[in-house]
Amino acid sequence: MIYPNEPVQLKSTFISLDSRQIYEPADTAFFAVRGLHHDGHQYVESLYHKGVREFIVEKAAWNSSLAEKAKSWNNTSIWVVNNSIETLQHIAHVHRMAFRLPVVGITGSNGKTICKEWLFKLTKSKFQVVRSPKSFNSQIGVPLSVWGIKTHHRLGIFEAGISQKDEMSRLEAIIRPEFGILTHIGEAHGKNFESEAAKLSEKLNLFRHSKKLIYRVTPNTTPVVIETMQRNNPTCELVGWSTTDTNQSIFVYWKITGKSSQLKFQKRNQSEPFISVQSQLHDEASLENLSHCLIQAHLLGMSNEELTTAVMGIKPISMRLEIKEGVRNNQLIDDSYNNDIDGLKLALPLFKRYEEKKKVLIISDFIETGIDEDTLYQQIAQLIVHQRIEKIIGIGSQIERNKHYFQHIDTYATAETFIESGDLNSLHDSIILLKGARKYAFEKIVNALETKTHCTQLEINLDALQHNLSYYRKTIGHSTKIMGMVKAQAYGAGAVEIAKILQSQGIEYLTVAYADEGVLLRNNGIYTPIMVMNPQVEEFDKMTSYALEPEIYNFSLLAAIDEYSTNQNKNIKIHIKLDTGMKRLGFEMSDIPQLMHELKQMPQLWVVSILSHLAASENPKHKAFTEQQIAQFKEASQAISDQLGYKPLRHIANSAAIQNYPEAHLDMVRLGISMYGISGNSVEKTALENVLSLKTYVSQIKNVAKGETVGYGRIGQFEEDGKIATLAIGYADGYSRALGNGQGHFEINGHICPTIGSICMDMCMVDVSTLTEIKEGDEAIVFGGKIQLAAFAKAAQTIPYEMMTSISSRVKRIYIRE
């Protein structure tokens, strides 16, 4: 039957707008939608032959030849409408109105999908819940979500997102939420305020018929919420909550301790909290989202006991993103964890750290977004148009169809065809961001692009590093600058990557040991000032052309740099090193009068800073000596300053002194080992996060009988029958021979296993007799898990500094962001 004008009444259970996603043709109604580049009407005939029996088509596209054919189709209903999407919205509205269940509507700028999922997790034990799939929150996604309501459902949770004016009223008619949650709204300032306020007002249209609305009280948005709601829906109860203002409907108290938090919720005028729970979430943004959900769950009648259990099921969302060395001087950012627009928004700013490299983006189709193809790819193109991306590689058929939205794009049907094309071999000196949905097997591309090395790897957690740096910023205050010590490949962690992070965090100075280390940084986009501790006279040219500033520690260097600068007619920045007791490099106290005398005659040398180094700041036993060093330095540097007539920066504190000798902070501190979370100080030990983890894997497992021996020299002996694992790390990787014969330990599957026999060059053996669960390929953690770097160094009879810098260059460095 063809219905030209009648109201649509569907028999089918399922609705589809995508001809490729029809799994039960006989029970699916197909809505033909015209997009900019493809037209669903094209598929109507073939879908009929596949068994689809209900169609919604648009008048304007219902051409005569198709209409003619359709006359002979049996048992088929075809509704001819003006606009398929509007029809879809209308039937979703009618469907919704047939149910009486409580419905929660969620909107806001950030956190809609997270709130929807978390509220579902909190309530699913008590209710049969229907919710938006994925982040279906658009003009099409919402009706499809609501169409899923069935008679057995007892609670609906739907999210709504809008990109244009007037869209929300339509979504409101479809969701018709009794409860509302307004998630995080960015705080608008200044001239953006008017337009942001208007957008917020538009979003609030979702709650025109709601009975209760939950929102967090903030200075800018709350007046707009109150004003709009009073105008649109004055009877709605406004449930504003705050963590600072006890006069709001609900006062929320939360406290983050390490990797968990505690939350309490109390109503105004009540003395006891109505919710008090522990959670594994431990960042502000997550706790904000969780608070919305807990309050909503309470309004739905859930008890504190029910919530206490349910909240444990909510785990922090991790965005694990790996930065890897690639072949042909490429750098890879492997971010295959998520594949949606928000994830792309988060990942794109990473390009900024690599200004010197060509930018390449490899993306797959964005699947299951709930946004229609045209809009989706236009949005993606919008996001990247200003990124100055040299080349985009698109994998998948959707992106192939929509390639006209992008510049500099090549598309391939699959990861395999891209690899086989050989085009990947033309990528060099680039920073390559890979974002692909799981089914596109991007690991194959990563594999083809990644430098293959020995499989033992040093993981460097950049978030932890950032955390530690912020900790020091807070500790020392903003009037003292920080110099990041990135000498010796940043203590083995990789100078370029570490310098980039420090630079992005606004560190004021960097220090290397040799000029070449500085050149490497300059060639990789580091523009932060760099001090060189061991300048060579022959390298003054190199240093000035790369803006590297020498540390001058004796009279011959001073004379040489003076001569160089006069000959070249250049002004040069230098750093003056004083020896206050370390007895290593630096002018002695007795040199100071002569030093001042000479400096005064070298006006082309600009003394940027004066420094000295402490010999034992980590050891309280040498407190008096250290204090004397500090006092001497203050006096001498002051005298030089006075003589110069300007104030160079003064610095003497290394990591240990930052905590132990606050009076030594002066103008700048030199932060080294504690950036990596290593400290002897108990306060810092709890405040800092571990940055480095060294990991290897099990190559083979063997049973060893009583009396048999293990390894070179037959030193490893078993007194009973036992089992060993051979691991892929040896002294050539930096795993010291001192750690053989049970001195060293590895963490394997959570158990601590001692070494047995001598450490070999590329391998070593561990006793795993007590482990029942172990197999080849399992990870073995050298340090960074249960075994801390400090304990590991101690077992090898050395200090963390030496262990870190001895991890050999064949050990792959992997940079991780959680």
Mind telling me the catalytic residues? 487, 712
Under rule CB under 6 A, which residues in 459-488 are in contact with ligand PLP? Answer: 485
Q: What are phi and psi of 241, to 5 degrees?
A: -125, 155
Residues 580, 654, 755, 758: which binds ligand PLP (CB under 6 A)? Answer: 654
Minimum distance between the CB of residue 808 and ligand PLP, rounded to whole angstroms? 20
Minimum distance between the CB of residue 485 and ligand PLP, rounded to whole angstroms? 4
Angstrom distance (rounded) from CA 677 to CA 673: 7
DSSP symbol at 8: P
**Count of residues touching ligand PLP (by CB under 6 A):** 9
Which residue type occupies 323? I
Please give the distance of CA 382 from its chain centroid, rounded to a whole number.
22
Minimum distance between the CB of residue 584 and ligand PLP, rounded to whole angstroms? 8
- Cβ proximity of 710 and 697 under 8 Å: no
Place of tokens 């829906």: 233
Nearest to residue 141, comparing CAs of 119, 180, 183, 170?
A: 170
Q: Judged by CB, which is closer to ligand PLP: 326, or 518?
A: 518
Question: Is 302 annotated to bind ligand?
Answer: no
Minimum distance between the CB of residue 486 and ligand PLP, rounded to whole angstroms? 10
Instruction: Report the 3 state secondary structure along 124-189.
Output: CCCCCEEECCCCCCCCCHHHHHHCCCCCCCCEEEEECCCCCCCHHHHHHHHHCCCEEEECECCCCC
Minimum distance between the CB of residue 613 and ligand PLP, rounded to whole angstroms? 4
Nearest to residue 101, comparing CAs of 214, 182, 179, 206?
A: 179
Interaction between residue 722 and ligand PLP (CB under 6 A): no
Q: Give the interface segment with ligand PLP, choosing from 157-165, 335-343, 664-672, 684-692 (CB under 6 A).
A: 664-672
Residues 217, 252, 458, 673: which binds ligand PLP (CB under 6 A)? Answer: 673
Q: Judged by CB, which is closer to ligand PLP: 252, or 658?
A: 658
Give the ranges where 280-437 is alpha helix by DSSP (H): 284-299, 304-311, 341-347, 373-384, 397-401, 415-421
Q: Give the interface segment with ligand PLP, choosing from 10-18, 157-165, 417-425, 649-657 (CB under 6 A).
A: 649-657
Residue 279, helix vs strand vs coil: strand
Q: Judged by CB, which is closer to ligand PLP: 656, or 796?
A: 656
Interaction between residue 670 and ligand PLP (CB under 6 A): yes
First CA to last CA across the chain, in angstroms? Answer: 56
Instruction: Report CA-CA distances (Å) from 559 to 64, 537, 642.
Output: 94, 10, 22
Angstrom distance (rounded) from CA 142 to CA 171: 7
- Number of residues in the chain: 818
Contact track, ligand PLP, 577-616, x by CB under 6 A: ------------------------------------x---
Q: Judged by CB, which is closer to ligand PLP: 261, or 654?
A: 654
Minimum distance between the CB of residue 629 and ligand PLP, rounded to whole angstroms? 13
Cα angle vertex 386, ends 385, 387, to 5°? 95
Give the ranges where 300-441 is alpha helix by DSSP (H): 304-311, 341-347, 373-384, 397-401, 415-421
DSSP symbol at 219: T
Minimum distance between the CB of residue 750 and ligand PLP, rounded to whole angstroms? 31
Nearest to residue 255, comparing CAs of 273, 270, 238?
A: 273
Which residue type occupies 411? T
Interaction between residue 510 and ligand PLP (CB under 6 A): no
Interaction between residue 430 and ligand PLP (CB under 6 A): no
Cα angle vertex 554, ends 601, 622, to 5°? 125
Instruction: Kindly state the helix (H) or strand (E) to which residue 282 belongs, with its residue range.
Output: none
Question: Is 761 annotated to bind ligand?
Answer: yes
Cα-based torsion angle of the residue sequence 349, 352, 353, 356 in order, rounded to the nearest 10 degrees: 150
Q: Judged by CB, which is closer to ligand PLP: 134, or 634?
A: 634
- Cβ proximity of 655 and 672 under 8 Å: yes
Q: Do β-strands 649-653 and 237-242 pair in parallel, antiparallel, or remain unpaired?
A: unpaired
Residues 331, 480, 655, 659: which binds ligand PLP (CB under 6 A)? Answer: 655
Minimum distance between the CB of residue 650 and ligand PLP, rounded to whole angstroms? 13
Q: Judged by CB, which is closer to ligand PLP: 411, or 655?
A: 655
Please give the distance of CA 330 from its chain centroid, rounded to a whole number.
21
Minimum distance between the CB of residue 416 and ligand PLP, rounded to whole angstroms? 47
Instruction: Kindly state the helix (H) or strand (E) to which residue 315 belongs, with its residue range.
Output: none
Angstrom distance (rounded) from CA 324 to CA 333: 6
Instruction: Give residue number: closest CB to ligand PLP.
Output: 672
Residue 745, helix vs strand vs coil: strand
Instruction: Report CA-CA distances (Å) from 224 to 108, 201, 215, 249, 288.
Output: 13, 7, 12, 17, 20
Handedness of CA 353, 354, 358, 359 (dihedral sign): negative
Contact track, ligand PLP, 611-630, x by CB under 6 A: --x-----------------
Minimum distance between the CB of residue 702 and ligand PLP, rounded to whole angstroms? 41
Q: Which residues bind ligand PLP (CB under 6 A)?
A: 485, 613, 654-656, 670-673
Q: Which residues are annotated as a binding site?
A: 584, 761
> Which residues participate in the annotated binding site for substrate?
584, 761
